[in-house]
A and B are shown apart, each in its own frame.
Chain A
Amino acid sequence: MSEYLLLIIGTALVNNVVLVKFLGLCPFMGVSGKLDTALGMGMATTFVLTLAAAASWAIEELILAPLGISFLRILSFILVIAAVVQFTEMLVKKTSPVLYQLLGIFLPLITTNCAVLGVALLNVQEGNGFVDSLLYGMGSALGFSLVMVIFAGLRERLEYAEVPETFAGTPVAFIVAGLLSMAFMGFAGLPSH
């Protein structure tokens, strides 16, 4: 049990998908302007990433590895992720219109989120089993959501700060992202999984 906890903490904080592995930077910069949209994006990504990690494990173990066609990994993972995202969108639309209103615009964006593909590929690289893959995906997604919320909060504060004109807007956001990344390096001292 404790190793699973360590795995989640390790992926969420120590090897944070955004700030340490630099995956999923596009939504990190693009959707972090407001706290509630960042939260919506984080929730949608958490859902899809966990599901995609499990689905791509199944594809790798059941189809690609037995047939010896692992060179098709990226292609088939993209296919599976796109299908999972589409299915998720339909399911959410049917079951929970409120959640659909909240996540609606972000769900299709996640199809091309490199964090989702990256985590699926890292799972294969590290030879994780099914449960490990699932937790690896969930931990990464939680880390992603955490960083999104922190960064959105920071940017909302930045709106009211007196930033020098040269740095106002995106430049200062990049600087803050860099500082945040350096702050997350502090977690490297924690026992990594």
Chain B
Amino acid sequence: MLAAIVALALLGLGLGYLLGVAAIHLRVEEPEIVQEIEALLPGTNCGQCGFPGCPAGAKALAEGSAPVTLCPPGGKPLAEALAAKLGVELDLAAMGDDSPKVAQVIEEQCIGCTRCFKVCPTDAIVGAPKQLHNVISDACTGCNKCTDICPTMGIKLCRPKATLANWQWPKPAITPAQALNDIKSVDDDDRQEAV
């Protein structure tokens, strides 16, 4: 009994120690900038940028082969931070209106199937089988995995509460006259096509 405990503990400790030593001696020096960029990224490896995970995305950013707007979950605040870090100019207009979003459960549609929190990379969804689930917004990175898997479309991405980091100027509202003009011109186009 004692021999078993001691032997296994020593085995584990020994292997762990060897791995630790190996990690120091075999460390590959990543450029500092890559590490810094990686620290900025959400780190959930959602793959929406097209790279296999955040480390690969950070590497591409450091090499300059990816735009700073690559990360949909990070949105504009991240793009701004990355642009400042890399010293590139940033055209936010090209990025569309994708401010960071967080998942939200639509309570009427949640059937408590637990599928969403199994796929959540940050454990941001809480709940139990056949119980209403809920999202912890602070932990949600908006990776969109849960919305795809929900069988009842009972989870959607919403804009989180405005903070200093993510607040944006509202879009200029369209005046009624302008809206009328738009409708008219569309109608004209339709008519021409019909003729």
Contact = CB atoms under 8 A, between A and B. Distances in A.
Contacts of B15: 79-80, 83
A139 to B, nearest CB: 26
A72 interface: yes
A83 B4 contact: no
Nearest to A91: B26
A59 B4 CA distance: 13
A5 interface: no
A100 B11 CA distance: 28
Contact of B4 (A72, A80, A94): A72
B7 A72 contact: yes
Interface in A58-107: 59, 63-64, 67-69, 71-72, 75-76, 79-80, 83, 86-87, 90-91, 93-94, 97, 105
B22 A90 contact: yes
A75 B8 contact: yes
B3 interface: yes
A83 B26 contact: no
A160 B9 CA distance: 53
Interface string B11-30: 11001101100110011100
Given A63-B11, A79-B15, A93 B4 contact: no
Contacts, number: 46
B50 interface: no
B8 A76 contact: yes
B3 A79 contact: no
Contact of A59 (B11, B19, B27): B11
A90 B26 contact: yes
A83 B18 contact: yes
Nearest to A95: B26
Interface string B99-118: 00000000000000000000
A91 B18 CA distance: 13
B12 A68 contact: no
Contacts of A80: 11, 15
Contacts of A83: 15-16, 18-19
B19 to A, nearest CB: 6
Contact of A86 (B7, B8, B19, B27): B19
A91 to B, nearest CB: 6
A75 B8 CA distance: 9
B52 interface: yes
B172 to A, nearest CB: 47
Contacts of A87: 18-19, 22
Interface in A136-182: none
A63 B4 CA distance: 10
B122 to A, nearest CB: 20
Interface of A: 59, 63-64, 67-69, 71-72, 75-76, 79-80, 83, 86-87, 90-91, 93-94, 97, 105
16 contacts: A67-B4, A69-B4, A69-B8, A72-B4, A72-B8, A76-B11, A80-B11, A80-B15, A83-B15, A83-B19, A86-B19, A87-B18, A90-B19, A94-B26, A94-B28, A105-B52
Which 4 pairs across A and B sit closest by C-beta, in order of nearness? Answer: A83-B15, A94-B26, A90-B26, A69-B4
